[in-house]
Amino acid sequence: MSEKYSGPDAAQHAATGLSKRQLTTLLGGCVILAAAAWIAEVDPMALLAAGAREQMAAFVAEGIPPETSREYLLGRSLRDGLLWAVVETLAISVVGTTLAVALAVPLGLTSAATVTHRGPLYRNASAGRITVGRGLYHASRTVLSFLRSVPGIVWGFLFVTAIGLGPFAGVLALAVHNAGVLGKLYADFLEDTDPMTTEAVAGSGATRLQAVCHGMVPQVTPTIASYTLYRWECTIRSAAILGFVGAGGVGYYLVITIQRLQYGKLSTAILAVFALVVTSDWLGSRLRTRLG
Partner 1 sequence: MLTVDNLEKTYDSGDKALKGVSFEVSGNEIVAIIGPSGAGKSTLVRSINRLTEPTAGRVSLDDTEVTGLDKSALRDVRRDMGMIFQEFNLVERLTVMENILSGRLGYLSTWNAFRRNFPPEDIKRAREILSRVNLEGVENNRADELSGGQRQRVGIARAVIQRPKILLADEPTSALDPDTSREVMSLLTDIAHEDDIPIIINIHEVDLAVDYADRIIGLSDGEIVFNGPPDDLDQAARDEIYRGGESIADREAPSAGSSTDSDDVIAERGD
> Site residues for partner 1, window 216-235 (CB under 8 A)?
218-219, 221-222
User: Binding partner 1 by CB under 8 A: which of 20, 76, 123, 290?
Assistant: 123
Contact 26, 1 (CB under 8 A): yes
Q: Is 175 a residue that touches partner 1 (CB under 8 A)?
A: no
Least distance to partner 1 from the beta carbon of 195, Å?
6
- Rounded to whole angstroms, the Cα distance separating 14 from 103 reads 50
Region label for 35, one of left (φ > 0), alpha (ψ between -120 and 50) or beta (otherwise): alpha
Q: Is 204 a residue that touches partner 1 (CB under 8 A)?
A: yes
Residue span binding partner 1 (CB under 8 A) among the ranges 60-68, 142-150, 151-159, 215-223: 215-223
Judged by beta carbon, residue 166 or residue 195, the one nearer partner 1 is 195
Q: Angle, to 10 degrees, between the axis of helix 50-63 and the axis of helix 263-291? A: 80
287: CB partners within 8 A, 6+ apart: 229
User: Binding partner 1 by CB under 8 A: which of 192, 210, 271, 279?
Assistant: 210
Q: Is 125 a residue that touches partner 1 (CB under 8 A)?
A: yes
Task: Write each residue from 232 to 271 as x if it is in contact with partner 1 (CB under 8 A), else as -, in one continuous string.
Answer: ----------------------------------------
Contact 103, 175 (CB under 8 A): yes
Q: Is 136 a residue that touches partner 1 (CB under 8 A)?
A: no
Residue span binding partner 1 (CB under 8 A) among the ranges 96-104, 142-150, 204-212, 260-268: 204-212
Contact 210, 50 (CB under 8 A): no
Burial class (CB in 10 A: 0-12, 13-18, 19+), 255: middle
Task: Write each residue from 76 to 115 as x if it is in contact with partner 1 (CB under 8 A), else as -, in one continuous string.
Answer: -------------------------------------x--
Report the 3 state secondary structure along 76-105: CCCCCCHHHHHHHHHHHHHHHHHHHHHHHH
Q: Is 195 a residue that touches partner 1 (CB under 8 A)?
A: yes
Contact 113, 188 (CB under 8 A): no
Q: Is 200 a residue that touches partner 1 (CB under 8 A)?
A: yes
Q: What are the residues binding partner 1 (CB under 8 A)?
A: 113, 117-120, 123-125, 194-197, 199-207, 209-211, 213-215, 218-219, 221-222
